[in-house]
Amino acid sequence: MGYGGGRREIPSGAGVRMGSNSSPKEDKPAMQERRLEIYAAILLSIAALGSSWSGYQSARWSGVQSTKYSQANAMRVESNRVSTAAGQLQGIDVQLFTHWLNAYAVDNQKLEQFYRKRFRAEFLPAFETWLNSDPMNNPKAAPSPFGLPEYRLILNEQATQAEAEAARIFKEGQAANQQSDDYVLNTVALSMVMFLVSIAGTSRSIAARTGLLIVAVLITVTGVYHLATFPII
């Protein structure tokens, strides 16, 4: 018996597409997303480390600022103390010189010698120079020994030096304060990187995610550059 008509022809090309569930074009978006995730992870790591280091350095420089300000205040207190002592010594010089003038005016040589022997060593050079200029008859003579360059108070000079040192230390404190502020600003910038990466992770648009990550990269590069150039302690 024949089985004519029982055979069915299989359409040509049937099964050719068997096992090919996706095309290269369909894999490209997935690859792009994977790359963006890797870039985002790298940016997050760099930003987190940089932010932590900036915060640490900011705290260190803030400590330097406080120390410098305290030192400057202590130096100013010392300057005021020494200046007060210098003023007291100058008052003694003025009083003794005034008493000597009064004794000289009444021609009391014994009293003159009494006060002259009690002149301080710092005052004597100026007094001798003034006396040798014949102030009683020389109109060009200085009015008193206190206006002559020979009159020097070591304590006054020490007070001036202490004040200058206080000003120098205070400027160092200001510089430390500025450096601390710079590190704080860098911390904020690197924190912005983490914010942008987080926002990019919630976006479904690859173009939007790419744009956000590009901005994050630029900020990260700037932050890392600052970390490489800022002074550290």
pLDDT in tens, 180-233: 999 999 999 999 999 999 888 887 788 888 899 999 999 999 999 999 999 999
In whole angstroms, give the CA distance from residue 191 to residue 195: 6
Concatenate the DSSP letters of all residues of 4-41 into one string: TT---PPPTTTTTTTT----HHHHHHHHHHHHHHHHHH
CA distance 44 to 42: 5
This prediction has a pTM of 0.72
Instruction: Retrieve residue 19's tokens.
Output: 């096992």
The phi and psi torsions of 42 (rounded to 5 degrees) equal -65, -45
What is the DSSP-derived secondary structure letter of residue 146? G
Does residue 152 register a pLDDT over 50? yes
Alpha helices in 106-153 (DSSP H): 109-116, 124-132
Q: How far apart are CA 7 and CA 111, in angstroms?
A: 154
| First and final C-alpha spacing in the chain | 103
Residue closest to 93 by CA, chosen among 160, 136, 146, 157: 146
Collapsing DSSP to helix, strand or coil, 11 comes out as coil
Taking only the tens place, the pLDDT of each residue in 95-107 is 999 999 999 999 9
Nearest to 75 by CA among 154, 153, 167: 167
